[in-house]
């Protein structure tokens, strides 16, 4: 049985909700991030043994995506920057890197197959985050039960 904690469940639900907004409207309400950051920060502080890993993930996520936002002539949305920072906070640096890698690969495949020129990126980031949270949870359980 998979044991998901409150942090993972709420992050997945939050990710699905903002993905829906991004697909439907092309924008995510800023209030979502204003409320999400303190909430996930409290959950992460409660869970973390060493709080440096989530902070490094948060700053990496915001710096890399802020640079991409500026260098791409703002074709990447600000919500993508904020969600990347939130991913770094919740997933940590290695988890953020894994999720972003999955997001970039799936978005590139989608772009090639759909021949669209612009897509909402948060749904792909959310998919990468959900993959990172669930796949590595399943792998850890499998490692414990395999001989």
Nearest CA to 58 among 36, 32, 77? 36
Q: Domain range holding 85?
A: 6-145
- What does the pLDDT read at residue 3? 45
Q: Is residue 82 part of a domain?
A: yes
Q: Is residue 77 part of a domain?
A: yes
- What does the pLDDT read at residue 25? 93
* Overall number of domains in the chain: 1
- What does the pLDDT read at residue 2? 42
Q: Is residue 130 part of a domain?
A: yes
Q: Is residue 34 part of a domain?
A: yes
Q: Is residue 101 part of a domain?
A: yes
DSSP secondary structure letter of residue 118: -
Q: Is residue 1 part of a domain?
A: no
Residue 75: count of CB within 10 angstroms of its CB: 11
In whole angstroms, give the CA distance from residue 41 to residue 97. 19
pTM for the full model?
Answer: 0.88
- What does the pLDDT read at residue 75? 85
Regions in the chain scoring below 70 on pLDDT: 1-4, 48-49, 137-147
Residue 137 C-alpha from the chain's centroid: 16
Q: Is residue 11 part of a domain?
A: yes
């Amino acid at each position: 049985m998979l044991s998901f904690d409150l942090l993972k469940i709420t992050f997945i639900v939050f990710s699905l909700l903002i993905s829906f907004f991004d697909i439907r409207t092309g924008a995510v309400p800023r209030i979502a991030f204003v409320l999400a950051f303190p909430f996930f920060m409290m959950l992460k502080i409660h869970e973390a043994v060493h709080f440096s890993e989530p902070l490094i993930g948060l700053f990496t996520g915001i710096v890399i995506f802020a640079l991409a936002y500026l260098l791409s002539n703002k074709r990447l949305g600000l919500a993508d920057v904020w969600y990347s920072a939130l991913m770094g906070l919740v997933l940590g640096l290695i988890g953020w890197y894994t999720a972003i890698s999955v997001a970039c690969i799936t978005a590139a495949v989608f772009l090639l197959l759909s021949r669209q020129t612009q897509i909402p990126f948060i749904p792909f980031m959310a998919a990468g985050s959900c993959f990172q949270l669930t796949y590595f949870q399943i792998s850890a359980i499998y490692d414990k039960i395999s001989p």
